[in-house]
C-alpha cells in the first residue's frame, strides 16, 4: 500500500457525557483533528461506531462496524480508499456514547460482539465469555487472580497524567484484592469501563509541510470464529497472531523494534493474550511481563501508555482510534509524563468480539 500520513489527531475526554449528543462528540473530535492538521476539509469521512444501530439510532456517512474493532476498521477502510486513488485525504472518526442508555440495553448491545446463535441466545454476556477464557487460562498455566492485578495497576498509573482519561487515579494491589466480583474470576478492576468519547485522525496522501512525519507502516486484519466453542484453542488469539505477523512483515520489522504497544485491554485476560499473540512472550507468559515491569513506560515493551482501555476508558467504537491517536502522540513525543524514550515504531491492536476480528496497525516516525 502507498505511504499515508497522519496529518492530525483529536480526542475528547473519556467520561460520562450527558451534555453532548453522539454527533456533537464526533464533531468535537473531528474539529480537533482538523485544527491539528491545519488543512482543508478532507475528501472523505469514515465513521466507526459500534452501537449506532442498537443504542444510538444514528447513521451518517460511511459507517463501519466491527464490534469493538470498529475504530480500526474505519481507519483501515480509509487507508484503502486513499491507496485506491479514490480519495487523497480522509477524516476517520470513532465515536461511542454508552452511558446514557439503560444498562440492560448496553449489555445486550455488547453481546452483539458474541455469536448470536451459539452464545448470545443462551444468555451469555460479553464479560462472561471473557471470564470463561480467564478461568481456563488460570487452570492451564497456574496463575492466580492476583497475578492479573499488575495489568490494571500499570494502566491506572499511566492514566494519572492523561487529562482525557476516565480514571486519573492510581490503584494498588490492595484495591484490586478488594474489588467487587463482576463475573468470576473477573473483578471490577479487571474490566474496562462503559464510557462516552470520540477520537479522530486526519489521513493524507501528502506528507506534512512541517513537523514530524508520522506514516502508516502497516495495516493488517485477520479473523477467527466468533464463537469460542469453534476455536482450536480458546487461549490463543490466532487472529491477533496472524494480524501482528502480517503487520511486522509489512513494516519490515520484528517485535523487539516496537517502541510501544497500545493493546486492547478490555479485560486483564485480553491484555495477557495480546502480549502473547503479538510475540512479546510465549503463550501463558503474559502475566509475567506485567509483574516483572516489562510493560511499564520505561520497560521493554510499554503498553497502554495513556491508560489503556482499562483506565482511559473503552467507548467501544472509538477505542481503536484513541489507540492510534495515542501512538501518534507518542511518536511525535507529545505524550507528556508517560512519554516513551525516542520511539520510532508504535503498534496498536484493536480486538473485535472475543478475538474474532482483529486489526493491527503500525505507525512510523520517519
Name, in order, each residue with C-beta under 8 angstroms of 122's C-beta and a sequence gap of 6 or more: none
- Around 161, how many Cα atoms within 13 Å sit in the side-chain half-sphere? 12
Beta strands at 214-223 and 357-365: parallel, antiparallel or unpaired: antiparallel
Q: How far is the CB of 352 from its own copies (least distance, A)?
A: 7
Q: How far is the CB of 22 from its own copies (least distance, A)?
A: 8
The residue from 3, 20, 23, 332 that contacts its own copies (CB under 8 A) is 23
Cell numbers found for residue 290: 506485567
Identify the CA nearest to 28 among candidates 13, 8, 49, 44. 13
Identify the CA nearest to 104 among candidates 194, 198, 228, 14. 194
Q: How far is the CB of 214 from its own copies (least distance, A)?
A: 20
275 binds its own copies (CB under 8 A): no
116 binds its own copies (CB under 8 A): yes
DSSP letter, residue 267 = B
Q: How far is the CB of 1 from its own copies (least distance, A)?
A: 6
Q: Which residue has the cell 460482539?
A: 113
Cell numbers found for residue 51: 452501537
- Around 74, how many Cα atoms within 13 Å sit in the side-chain half-sphere? 36
Beta carbon nearer to its own copies, 274 or 357: 357
The residue from 12, 17, 66, 291 that contacts its own copies (CB under 8 A) is 66
Beta carbon nearer to its own copies, 225 or 365: 225
DSSP letter, residue 254 = -
60 binds its own copies (CB under 8 A): yes
Q: How far is the CB of 134 from its own copies (least distance, A)?
A: 22
Beta carbon nearer to its own copies, 20 or 136: 20
The residue from 16, 27, 80, 332 that contacts its own copies (CB under 8 A) is 80
162 touches 338 (CB < 8 A)? yes
139 is catalytic: no
d(Cα 348, Cα 346) in Å, to the nearest integer?
Answer: 7
Beta carbon nearer to its own copies, 63 or 279: 63
Q: Which residue has the cell 452511558?
A: 99
d(Cα 337, Cα 53) in Å, to the nearest integer?
Answer: 38
Tell me the C-alpha to C-alpha distance, in Å, between residue 299 and each of 4, 159, 193, 284, 350. Answer: 30, 17, 26, 20, 22
Beta carbon nearer to its own copies, 118 or 300: 118
Specify the DSSP element, H or E, that contains 278.
none
Beta carbon nearer to its own copies, 36 or 65: 65
Q: How far is the CB of 211 from its own copies (least distance, A)?
A: 26
Beta strands at 357-365 and 345-352: parallel, antiparallel or unpaired: antiparallel
Binding segment toward its own copies, per CB under 8 A, in 17-25, 201-209, 237-245, 291-299: 17-25
Candidates 68, 156, 183, 281; catalytic one: 68
Phi, psi (degrees; rounded to nearest 5) at 223? -125, 160
Beta carbon nearer to its own copies, 287 or 352: 352
Q: How far is the CB of 171 from its own copies (least distance, A)?
A: 32
264 is catalytic: no
Footprint of its own copies on residues 190-229 (CB under 8 A)? 219, 221, 223, 226
Candidates 156, 183, 281, 314; catalytic one: 314
Residues that bind its own copies (CB under 8 A): 1, 21-23, 50-54, 56-67, 73, 77, 79-86, 108-109, 111-113, 116-117, 120, 219, 221, 223, 226, 352-353, 356-357
What are the residue numbers of the active site?
68, 314
Amino acid at each position: 500500500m502507498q505511504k499515508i500520513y497522519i496529518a492530525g489527531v483529536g480526542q475528547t475526554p473519556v467520561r460520562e457525557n450527558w451534555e453532548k449528543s453522539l454527533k456533537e462528540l464526533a464533531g468535537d473530535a473531528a474539529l480537533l483533528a482538523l485544527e491539528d492538521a491545519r488543512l482543508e476539509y478532507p475528501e472523505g469521512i469514515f465513521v466507526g461506531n459500534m452501537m449506532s444501530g442498537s443504542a444510538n439510532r444514528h447513521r451518517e456517512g460511511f459507517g463501519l462496524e466491527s464490534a469493538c474493532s470498529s475504530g480500526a476498521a474505519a481507519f483501515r477502510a480509509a487507508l484503502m480508499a486513499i491507496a485506491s486513488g479514490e480519495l487523497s485525504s480522509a477524516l476517520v472518526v470513532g465515536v461511542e456514547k454508552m452511558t446514557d442508555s439503560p444498562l440492560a440495553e448496553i449489555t445486550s448491545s455488547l453481546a452483539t460482539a458474541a455469536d448470536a446463535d451459539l452464545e448470545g441466545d443462551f444468555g451469555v454476556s460479553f464479560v462472561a465469555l471473557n471470564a470463561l477464557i480467564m478461568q481456563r487460562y488460570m487452570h492451564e498455566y497456574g496463575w492466580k487472580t492476583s497475578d492479573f492485578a499488575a495489568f490494571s495497576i500499570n494502566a491506572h498509573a499511566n492514566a494519572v497524567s492523561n487529562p482525557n482519561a476516565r480514571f486519573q487515579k492510581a490503584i494498588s494491589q490492595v484495591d484490586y484484592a478488594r474489588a467487587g466480583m463482576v463475573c468470576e474470576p473477573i473483578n471490577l478492576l479487571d474490566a474496562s469501563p462503559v464510557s462516552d468519547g470520540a477520537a479522530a485522525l486526519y489521513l493524507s496522501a501528502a506528507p506534512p509541510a512541517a513537523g514530524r512525519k508520522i506514516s502508516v507502516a502497516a495495516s493488517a486484519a485477520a479473523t477467527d470464529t466468533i464463537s469460542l466453542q469453534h476455536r482450536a484453542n480458546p487461549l490463543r488469539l490466532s487472529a491477533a497472531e496472524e494480524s501482528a505477523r502480517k503487520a511486522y512483515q509489512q513494516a519490515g520489522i520484528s517485535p523487539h523494534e516496537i517502541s510501544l504497544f497500545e493493546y486492547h485491554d478490555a479485560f486483564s485476560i485480553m491484555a495477557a493474550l495480546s502480549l502473547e499473540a503479538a510475540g512479546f512472550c510465549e503463550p501463558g507468559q503474559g502475566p509475567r511481563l506485567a509483574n516483572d515491569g516489562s510493560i511499564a513506560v520505561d520497560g521493554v515493551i510499554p503498553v497502554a501508555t495513556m491508560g489503556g482501555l482499562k483506565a482511559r476508558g473503552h467507548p467501544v467504537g472509538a477505542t481503536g482510534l484513541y489507540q492510534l491517536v495515542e501512538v501518534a502522540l507518542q511518536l511525535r513525543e507529545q505524550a507528556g509524563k508517560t512519554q516513551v524514550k525516542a520511539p520510532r515504531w508504535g503498534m496498536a491492536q484493536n480486538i473485535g468480539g472475543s478475538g474474532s476480528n482483529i486489526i493491527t496497525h503500525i505507525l512510523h516516525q520517519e
